[in-house]
Amino acid sequence: MPTRNGTGSGPTNDLGSLLRARRELVRPEDVGLPRGERRRTPGLRRHEVASLAGISVEYLTRLEQGHDRHPSIQVVGAIADALKMGPHDKLHLHDLVAKSHGRDLACSVGCPVHQVVPATLRDLLGRLDPAPAVVVAPGTELCAWNDSFAALMRPFGLLSSEPRPSMIRFAFTDPRAKQVVADWGAMADALVTWLHTNANPGTEAIVDELSALAGSEFADRWSRRPLGRLDLGLGSVVSPDVGRLELQAETLAARDGFSLVVHLPVGSVTEAALARLSRPSGSPRSSRETSGVQRDRRSPLTSTAVEVVGSNT
């Protein structure tokens, strides 16, 4: 049945319309191509987009004309990157593809997780200072952390995202991740390996979202399933306050599906730097502004504050 693209009546071809519209907005020089001879139409030619995305011209033609409405997340990510799409357009593109598969991306992306961190884990977090420690849910959402972890990562925005901070979202969607984590590639591989290994009903939504926002950088990893280390540690971290920190992470399984990630200093230099970072002189500890985070001082085991996201206990 013909699609509504000037060839007749029938079901709309929203995916094809979006691809054509975006292709016409991108100039050759925007993607490193020479403008060359005079062009009859604005933007990139089909074969240029196909080459940039690593797909055939024939396949891109089928997508634009509505003859194929079920591209893989890897193809969608590659096309989004080739067309220099921003976050909003990427989400819209993946939403159209998700609907073609009978899913609704908009309903699933960013839905809050309602796990409650056990009190024993909160107590343990405080006792681990000055070692940065964090409680993580199966989808890499950060659920609670101690002062040292906050001092280390809050300046980079890891703890400010809503509805709950996420390791894998930070790694793939925040450019600061590549500045703070010395071996970003190893961490990215490890996070994808973790998400594969701990897949649950909410994983598909995370994959859709990251494929939309991060493009092929995430989608290619998800497709090939890298053999990364099975932990959630940051590795070596570069802090603007105390310089490079060499950290050895231990990821420990806890009750209710949580994991406790503890970052231990490697060497006396990092140990001293962590102590300075977690207790800066003359600088009072500030709490996270978001109402979903509580400062839990009820523990008789420690006087150190622990931040908990969405706790109702």
pLDDT at residue 287, rounded to an integer: 29
Q: How many CA atoms lie within 13 A of 132 on its CB side?
A: 30
Same domain, 64 and 91: yes
Same domain, 57 and 142: no
Give percent above pLDDT 70 in the chain. 78
Cβ 47 vs Cβ 23: under 8 Å? no
pLDDT at residue 49, rounded to an integer: 92
Contacts of 74 (CB under 8 A, 6+ apart): 211, 216, 219, 220, 222, 223
Same domain, 157 and 264: yes
Whole-number CA gyration radius for the chain: 23
> How much is the average pLDDT of 17-30?
89
> How much is the average pLDDT of 7-26?
77
Q: Specify the range with the lowest mean pLDDT, choosing from 66-70, 242-246, 270-274.
A: 66-70
Q: Specify the range with the lowest mean pLDDT, choosing from 99-113, 146-160, 178-192.
A: 99-113
User: Residue 71 sits in which domain range?
Assistant: 14-108
Q: Please, which pLDDT band fits residue 286 given cuts at 50, 70 and 90? A: very low
Q: Please, which pLDDT band fits residue 310 given cuts at 50, 70 and 90? A: low
Give the Cβ contact number of residue 55 at 10 Å.
18
Domain assignment present for residue 284? The answer is yes
Domain assignment present for residue 253? The answer is yes
pLDDT at residue 103, rounded to an integer: 58
Same domain, 103 and 132: no
Domain assignment present for residue 204? The answer is no
Same domain, 82 and 162: no
Looking at residue 53, which CATH number applies to its domain? 1.10.260.40
Same domain, 102 and 125: no
Same domain, 128 and 78: no
> How much is the average pLDDT of 58-72?
88
Q: Which of the two residues, 189 and 70, has the higher pLDDT score?
A: 189
Looking at residue 153, which CATH number applies to its domain? 3.30.450
pLDDT digits (tens, 9 = 90+) for 203-251: 888 888 888 888 888 988 998 877 767 788 888 999 888 889 999 999 9
pLDDT at residue 285, rounded to an integer: 35
Domain assignment present for residue 88? The answer is yes
pLDDT at residue 9, rounded to an integer: 39
Same domain, 44 and 155: no
Same domain, 83 and 41: yes
Residue 2 has pLDDT above 90, yes or no: no
pLDDT at residue 282, rounded to an integer: 39
Q: Please, which pLDDT band fits residue 11 given cuts at 50, 70 and 90? A: low
Domain assignment present for residue 270? The answer is yes
> Which one of 13-22, 52-61, 155-164 scores highest in mean pLDDT?
52-61
CA dist., res. 87 & res. 248, Å (int)? 33
Domain assignment present for residue 215? The answer is no
Judged by phi (left if over 0) then psi (alpha if -120 to 50, else beta), residue 215 lies in: left
> Which one of 94-98, 99-103, 152-156 scores highest in mean pLDDT?
152-156
Domain assignment present for residue 208? The answer is no
The structure tokens 């693209």 sit at: 5
pLDDT at residue 228, rounded to an integer: 66
Q: Which of 56, 86, 108 is the last residue of a domain?
A: 108
Same domain, 22 and 97: yes
Residue 311 has pLDDT above 50, yes or no: no
Give the Cβ contact number of residue 301 at 10 Å.
11
Same domain, 169 and 32: no
Amino acid at 276: R
> How much is the average pLDDT of 62-83?
85
To the nearest 10 degrees (0 to 180), the angle between helices 216-224 and 73-82 is: 160
Same domain, 91 and 123: no
Domain assignment present for residue 30? The answer is yes
Average predicted confidence (pLDDT) for the chain: 78
**How many domains would you assign to the chain?**
2
Q: Which of 81, 108, 135 is the last residue of a domain?
A: 108
Q: Which of 108, 128, 157 is the last residue of a domain?
A: 108
